[in-house]
Amino acid sequence: MNEIPRPFSPVLVDRLAVAGRVAVLTGAGISAESGLATFRDPGGIWEQFRPEELANMTAFLHNPELVQGWYAHRRKVAEEARPNAGHYALAELETMVPNCTLITQNIDGLYNRAGSHHVIELHGNIMRSYCVVCARPATALELATLSEGATAMCPECGGLIRPDVVWFGEMLPEVAINAAADAAREADVFLSIGTSAVVYPAANLPLEARGWGAFVVEINIEPSAIANAVDEVVLGPAGRVLPELVAAVWHKRTLLTN
């Protein structure tokens, strides 16, 4: 049975319909409906493993097999996953807004597969790996070895192979965080979607955007850590809210241009 589309606030639809620049920050919640576990929700990744046990260099050097195995498992899940309606709606939004930048904390690459082009990956991408000693990128064959549970070592120098993701205590890629800060500063509207907004510096971006004058909207199944500091909170699953919101904006843009 089709559900009745939610009514959005006129100000949200109007702001998006006339926006020249939109920045979107996404977190694990948008991929939840593609079957990828989130980090901090009940049943999320961190419920089985605490972040400090796995997502940092010390843990990796202490137990590389465990960390490599965890990422090999998640890589397989991400490879088998399909973009959901939320990812596709963001790709459609990109075609409607003159300048739309998608900033993601996710490492699953589902945006590109849904058709988005302007994607900034703040925390890397799980499909890439490299040697911690000589920085040589790992080949697909070496990554397949990772999936089999053996400790993956660099064939050139014998160094450990790690995923090309950003762990706690590591700097974000400079080009990516600078581009994200630029997009936040210039945005007319900033959407923060499916993130608990507790991990920095990503969690600062919506607040920075608001400080620069953007209309900031959170879309989440529950209020995040920054919900009180944004202009509007839309509660609901991203895979349902985003297609409805983009359709409402498309309709409004059509009215304005005819």
Residues with a known catalytic role: 123
In the numeric block, which tokens belong to residue 169? 């205590």
Check whether the bond before 201 is cis (ω within 30° of 0): yes
Bridge partners (DSSP) listed for residue 171? none
Q: Which residue has the tokens 């058709």?
A: 115
Does 237 sit near ligand BJW (CB under 6 A)?
yes
195, 26 contact by CB (below 8 A): yes
- The window from 4-12, 24-32, 141-149, 153-161 that contacts ligand BJW (CB under 6 A) reads 24-32
Task: State the alpha helices, DSSP H only, in the chain.
Answer: 10-18, 29-32, 45-48, 51-54, 57-62, 64-80, 85-96, 110-114, 140-147, 174-186, 204-211, 238-257
Nearer to ligand BJW, 170 or 182 (CB): 170
Is 220 a residue that touches ligand BJW (CB under 6 A)? yes
Binding mask 65-84 for ligand BJW (x = CB under 6 A): --------------------
Smallest gap from residue 10 Cβ to ligand BJW (A): 23
Contact range with ligand BJW by CB under 6 A, out of 75-83, 130-138, 208-216, 221-229: 221-229
Interface ranges with ligand BJW (CB under 6 A): 27-29, 32-33, 38-41, 44, 51, 55, 105, 107, 123, 165-172, 194-196, 198-201, 220-222, 224, 237-238
